[in-house]
């Protein structure tokens, strides 16, 4: 489980009486592994992002179950209402069947 809300949902959905059997396990991170000394303006200039707009990122393995196609559809709807927005999908296609969609 990744959060208290998901834990509560599982307890409710499966009508669990012993709540101690469900644990929340925090995700690890790479915060200290990579240098983070560049400011936002320089980073956006280096990657040709919008300087003032919203940048949304999907990062990691690109698989159908992760909802990338749904993310693209949702972004298309959102970008009609939000000026200066970019969606970046950065990663690797881990499923040859899924690669036909891009």
pLDDT of residue 43: 78
pLDDT of residue 12: 92
- The contacts of residue 75 (CB under 8 Å, 6+ apart) are 56, 85, 87
- Cα(3)–Cα(40) distance, integer angstroms: 29
**What are 59's strand-pairing partners?**
90
The strand pairing partners of 62, in sequence order, are: 93
Instruction: Select the more confidently predicted residue: 42 or 17.
Output: 17
Is-contact 58 90, C-beta < 8 A?
A: yes
Give the model confidence (pLDDT) of 44-55 as tens digits.
777 776 667 788
HSE at residue 57, side-chain half, CA atoms within 13 A, is 8
pLDDT for position 98: 63
Instruction: Please check the confidence at residue 65 and state whether its pLDDT lies above 70.
Output: yes
pTM: 0.57
User: pLDDT at position 71, please?
Assistant: 92
């Amino acid at each position: 489980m990744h959060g208290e809300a998901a834990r509560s949902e599982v307890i409710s959905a499966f009508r669990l009486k012993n709540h101690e059997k469900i644990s929340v396990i925090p995700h690890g991170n790479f915060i200290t592994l990579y240098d983070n000394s560049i400011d936002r303006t320089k980073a956006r200039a280096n990657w040709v992002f919008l300087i003032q707009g919203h940048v949304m990122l999907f990062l990691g393995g690109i698989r159908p179950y992760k909802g990338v196609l749904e993310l693209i559809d949702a972004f298309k709807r959102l970008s009609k209402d939000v000026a200066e927005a970019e969606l970046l999908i950065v990663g690797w296609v881990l499923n040859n069947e899924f690669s036909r969609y891009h």
